[in-house]
Amino acid sequence: MTPGRHEASPVVLAGLGTALPELTVFNQDIGERLGVSRDWIVQRTGIRSRIRCGPGTTTADLAVGAGAAALESSGERSVDAVVVATATPDHLMPATAPVVAARLGLAGVAAFDVAAACTGLLYALQVAQGFICTGAARRVLVIAADRLSHVTDPDDPATAPLFGDGAAAFVVRRGQAGEPGVLGPVVLGSDGRHADALVVPHGQFMQMRGREVFQHAVTRLVEASTQAAAAAGWSLKDVERFVPHQANARITAAVAQRLGVDRHRVLESIEHLGNTSGASIALTLAHAVAHGRLRAGQRVLLAAFGAGLTWGATALSWSPLHGVAKRPCAPALMEETR
């Protein structure tokens, strides 16, 4: 789906928050189990450590932490809808979002999940844009939260080194044309003919055909990024910061090279967070803010690829946020989540 440019009800990024669990897992820990070296993992993935949930931490815990932080960053606690993008919901039913909304003091607002794996944040942003552009909402909380370590086989060398856990969230609001933080059109796509290339069968661990996923990821990320830049009225030379989903450092390098984006314009966080699924783009943005690599008005291109197969991209001018907030992943006190 490649939308054209639109002028009605611009949607603006108003808040950014993150939540990360407490356990750091280093390459040595994984390498000893798999019988490979720390350097082997770095060379294949670009990852030196990843952060994972300990026992008892749920996807909802991650999402609540990130959502609360994003609301704090936005300077206003009210929203009209909560959209949670997750591939690891706590239950088949109910969805994670209503529980998250209630724990955030937002009971009564529309709340639902979006399932698009590592592309989930961009799918959820498109939903939020639709709510705002049609007048159904003024402000929407979009959360991406996953604990992929829960479905990762610790003895599988193709997946065990890759995945971390975490959550990140945006608050988006109705804005004015030309103000910093306006989101461009979101380009989305899927191809279920290759769904079995990256899959979690019911009751089993993740299964991935790594070479096939790599090839599809590079192709689709390049296509979607090019389309999103064009839909925003940019050339790729206009892109000041490129933020791809943090799947694998080799994928990022291949995509940047094909797009002609210099590596100094690419933002990454995979080295110490691993692949955090749908949260990775927003976590990388927060990491860049913390290290002074983003400033208001910069042209930023976001792109993601995930299971499904799914992919997407969008563009925005970076917003002068109130700040990027971080929250811990506190276990729920509500009876139904114990």
Would you name the residues annotated as active-site residues?
118, 245, 275
Are the C-beta atoms of residues 313 and 227 closer than 8 Å to each other?
Answer: yes
> How many H-runs (helices) and E-runs (strands) does the chain carry?
9, 14
Q: How wide is the angle at C-alpha 123 spanned by C-alphas 122 and 127, nearest 5°?
A: 115
Residue with tokens 């933080």: 181
Rounded distance, CA 129 to CA 263, Å?
30
The string of DSSP letters for 283-326 reads HHHHHHHHTT---TT-EEEEEEEETTTEEEEEEEEPP--S-EEE
3 state SS of 273: helix
3 state SS of 211: helix
Which residues lie below 8 Å from residue 295, measured CB to CB, with a gap of 6+? 318
